[in-house]
Amino acid sequence: MPFKEEIKDLVAYRAAHVCSNPSCLRLTAGPSLANSSLKVKIGEAAHIIGEKPTSARHRDLGDAVLNAIENAIWLCASCHTEIDKNKGIDYSTTDLEQWKNNHEERISVILKNHKSPLPLFQRATINATVAQGLVDVIDEHGVFFQHSIYESPDLAIASVDIARKKISRKKRDIVEDVRLKDIGKSIYDACREYMNETSLNAVAWEAYLQVMRTRVGVQLGCLEREYGAIIPVNLGQIVIR
């Protein structure tokens, strides 16, 4: 059975309505700007040890233990879905307990030190904009998604070079986010290596082009999944989700 309402409220308060996944930290509650009497809530109390035999990380510990506050972690809806995929094989009980403990300790320190979490939110907003900007740069250049019959080796290389330089500039705007920097670097490296390979063997430019598109497609999937970036229709054919 689901957690009781008082358990849900308590775990949400203890997490300050922020997703406990350290790679997410998404705010999960806020106002509806269209109606002052309404709220927006995208957070959920998730089971660390699954309550049912078919659920993720299940152990038969009894309802009292499985539905207690100690077994509840506050997550955004997306992270809740992710941790339970494939019966939770990618996220152990120990991982989730560590997430919860570290997050609650972090929130407690912020609260006691009278620090504002707004800089965290501002950084998240800036970085989400950068993530979308990386997608938009790729979308601006047909070399990443057009059929190769519409491309020529020289023009393809020139286009990738321009995109590479734009991506380099976008990377400079990232604020204290190692993961996003890694994604930006991976896209940049895919472009750079395509140019290097074609300079050594221009005849195989189409094969190298497909490799580059695949590598960029993987990173587009990450930008969509982890930063909420919107993938345009053109790029849908290369994105790897």
pTM for the complete prediction? 0.56
Query: Which secondary structure element, helix H or strand E, spans residue 107, and what is its range?
Result: helix 93-112
Residues 205 and 173 in one domain: yes
Partnered with residue 31 across adjacent β-strands are 39
Is 138 found in the same domain as 230? yes
pLDDT of residue 190: 97
Domain span including residue 65 = 5-112
From CA 131, how far away is CA 8, in angstroms rounded? 32
b/e code 195-215 from CB counts within 10 Å (16+ = b): bebbeeeeeebeebbeebbeb
Asked if residue 27 and residue 12 are part of one domain, the reply reads yes
Give the pLDDT of residue 1. Answer: 65
What length does the chain have?
A: 241
User: 170 and 74 in one domain?
Assistant: no
Are 102 and 190 part of one and the same domain? no
Q: Work out how many domains the chain is built from and give that number.
A: 2
Residues in the chain, pLDDT under 50: none
pLDDT at 19: 94
Are 68 and 134 contained in the same domain?
no
pLDDT at 120: 67
Tens digit of each residue's pLDDT (9 = 90 or more) over 209-226: 999 999 999 999 999 988
pLDDT tens per residue, range 106-146: 899 888 887 777 776 677 778 889 999 999 999 999 999 98
Contacts of 1 (CB under 8 A, 6+ apart): 51, 63, 67
